[in-house]
Every structure is written in C-alpha cells, then in structure tokens.
Structure 1
Amino acid sequence: MSGELKTLWRPTGPEELELVRRSGWRAWPPRLPEQPIFYPVLNEDYAIRIARDWNAPRYGVGYVTRFHVPEDFLARYPIQQAGGETILELWVPAEELDEFNAHISGVIEVVHEFRPDLDRT
C-alpha cells in the first residue's frame, strides 16, 4: 500500500460516538441489521450539514469526525454522489467494515460538535 492518506469525515450521533470512544478512537462499530452500508463522506462541509441539521435536532447533539485511510485501499469503493455536486460518499458494505477499520491510520477525531439552538421556534 502506498503512503498517501485520504481524509474522510463521518457525521455521527452520541451513541455511535460512544462506541468509537470505547474502541480507543480506532474503529467504527458494526452496522445494525437495518444499516447495510457504512458511509463516510468526502468533504467536511457535507459532514457539518448532516451533523448540524439532522443529527443535532434528532439526537440532541451532532458530531463531525475526521479520520484517514490509505487512498489505494479506498479505491475499491466507488464515490457515490448522493445529491448535489459536493454531496459525495463512499459506501462500504457492512460485512467489510472490520477490514475498513483495520486500514484507518491513526485515530478518529471529533472536529465539530453541534447542539440544537434552543432559542429557535
């Protein structure tokens, strides 16, 4: 594998983040039966929008995490355009998540935290 790392982001809620913490900040938890894919996103802005606009209102807090994976390993996952031009994701099948986690370089970091604005009506 080459040494070139790709930065990925993952918007997440508090339950998933707690499982990441328990892994020593090194792995994503197994998917639930209703979650056949794990989808990290390719840009920070998209991750922020999901964490701020969807996760924070739904779970009371939304987080954006950042982590790094070798580019040559990621080449097996085609980029998925889930909406607009910058709404890009990788779709990792749930059964491949252990192998994906083994390729994370370093630790998973929390880079943003969002809570609902209680003054909004």
Structure 2
Amino acid sequence: MKQFPPRLPEQPIFYPVTTEEYAVKIARDWNVPASGSGFVTRFEVRRDFLAHYDIQEAGGSMHHEYWIPAEDVDAFNAAIVGAIEVVRSFR
C-alpha cells in the first residue's frame, strides 16, 4: 500500500497515531467491535511535513496522534517515505 484513501465526508480529520501500542488498542478494542476487523499499519513520514502539525493527546498520556485535516491527506500521502506496511490484523 502506498497511500491512505481520501477521508469520507463524515471524517474531516485523519488521525495517524505515534505508537504501535496505541494503534493496536484502536484496531483491536475499537475497530473490531465496530466493524469486525482492525489493522495496524507502519509507515514513515517526512519530518518537514509533520512539523506543521502538533502532536495531540487524545484521552490519555499514552494516546498521541496527529490531527491531519482531510484536505491535507494528499500532501500527507506525498510525504510518506516508502510503503505502508500492515503489521497486525485483528478479526
């Protein structure tokens, strides 16, 4: 996978998280009950792109994520270095 899809109209923000531990929690504990499956991806993003966004704390000291507006997802995708790798999956 080389890029993330555009956000749906009801998804104005893209929330890439900063740790695999937090990504596992989302995929396993939230996405599986909501939709039947969840996936954890790993990828690198150029620092010069991320420097335009603050890291947000989302409900706990271990829950850090970037808030990328939907209109910036194409630029986010262009800033990805290498491939997006699926490292865990839950059903």
State the TM bucket, normalised to the shorter chain. Answer: over 0.9
- Give runs of aligned pairs for residues 7-26 of structure 1, distance below 5 A: 25-26=1-2
**What's the Cα RMSD here?**
0.8
After superposing on structure 2, the runs of 4+ consecutive aligned residues of structure 1 that deviate more than 2 Å are none
Between Structure 1 and Structure 2, whose CA radius of gyration is higher? 1
Cα distance in 2 for partners of 1:96, 1:46 equals 23
**Which residue in the other structure is 1:95 paired with?**
71
Q: CA deviation at 1:72?
A: 2.0
3-state SS of 1:111 partner: strand
Q: Which residue of 2 aligns with 1:43?
A: 19
- Matched residue count: 91
Q: Deviations over 1:3-58 (max 9, x none)?
A: xxxxxxxxxxxxxxxxxxxxxx1111111111111110001111100100111122
Give 5+ residue unaligned stretches, structure 2: none
Cα distance in structure 1, aligned partners of 2:36 and 2:16: 21
Q: What CA distance in whole angstroms lies between the structure 2 residues aligned with 1:33 and 1:60?
A: 22
Listed one character per residue, the Cα deviations across residues 41-87 of structure 1 (whole Å, up to 9, x for unaligned) are 00111110010011112221111011101112101011110011110
Structure 1 vs Structure 2: percent identity of aligned residues? 63
Q: Which has the bigger relative contact order, CA under 8 A and spacing at least 6?
A: 2
* CA distance in 2 between partners of 1:48 and 1:99 (Å): 25
- 1:33 is aligned to 9
Unaligned 5+ runs, structure 1: 1-24, 116-121
Normalising by the residue count of structure 2, what TM-score does the alignment of the two structures yield?
0.95
Q: Distance in 1 between matches of 2:22 and 2:54?
A: 18
Q: How does 1:66-85 map to 2 (within 5 A)?
A: 66-85=42-61
**Quick one: distance in 1 between partners of 2:86 and 2:6?**
19
